[in-house]
Copies of this chain bind each other. A is one copy, B any other.
């Protein structure tokens, strides 16, 4: 186990009607709020009205910034930063899913920085302060509601940074607010959360059993309740299991004492930066190919993944075992309708090469379970193209 520091002061309000507390919670930090959201869905399901009423009760002034799209773009972040600076905003409230929250985090850091906020994503500067951020979660998966990370797209570049200062002060998690999320988006969100867990599960660190076992429990929860929630979208309890599991997947706890891998995420960022597909879908396209490519780095761990998470406990030789385990994983992808072939993106050989090289934009290799060169990544994308 590695030495580690763990600190996550985000206050979670989980359950029915918790969004009524929004105004009271914001008022602990400020009285002029930038409220960031996506489309008008929050007006349809009543969250918008609830939040606005709660603002009024606390005499909170607010300005709205809407129109955040999946794979949120830097242009909107710049717009938000300008509002914050001109209007003396003192709190940023995100109402939405990971894209909205990431956008809010980007705005909150940029608002207290004099240069170009894209510097943070290009690793030119490290952010030192941020406006406080709060969230009301309406789409599950990214885990941004309790995490120190955010991802923003500029042109075809999708870039991220991690920093403790962007951990939300509070997050409101009401499973009811996710009833209207479509089956496909539900699947994509859960797959994203599962991948957050697997990125950590496939670690080069030894002696990590205590976190291994928690990760296994969370992945199993997501694998069991995601198809159920897709079938019964307004079942509170199914949505609740998924919501809390996805938040815990990304709050830092599942990373304690170990290095994560994160190659698949980095590859996928290039994929969805280029093709503007759902992040969870992109991950589902890449994962089986990646699993096959890296399994032999640590067969005991790979067998543990098969045995403890997927229930595939075979005594076959390595190649056959890998096949059985990856088959079971793909079966799950099929079950939630994410067994798309990457070739549906009309990605030719040149594009595979280009994305592989772009993945390694700031280092020679990506991933820690197995360190992948751009040539390895090219092969993974190539194999993903033909994978069935």
Contacts and interface: CB of A to CB of B under 8 A. Distances in A.
Interface of A: 1-16, 18, 206-207, 209-214, 216-218, 220-221, 224-225, 236-237, 240-241, 244-245, 248, 253, 256-257
Contact of A214 (B4, B207, B218): B218
B7 A14 contact: no
Contact of A213 (B11, B16, B221): B221
A237 to B, nearest CB: 4
Contacts of A5: 11-14
Given A3-B15, A15-B1, A210-B218, A244 B224 contact: no
A214 to B, nearest CB: 5
Contacts of A207: 237, 240-241
B9 A14 contact: no
B14 A6 contact: yes
Nearest to A238: B207
A4 B12 CA distance: 8
A72 B44 CA distance: 57
10 contacts: A1-B15, A5-B14, A7-B11, A8-B9, A206-B237, A210-B217, A210-B221, A211-B244, A213-B221, A244-B257
| Cβ-closest 10 pairs across A and B | A3-B15, A213-B217, A207-B237, A9-B9, A6-B12, A7-B11, A1-B240, A210-B221, A210-B241, A210-B245
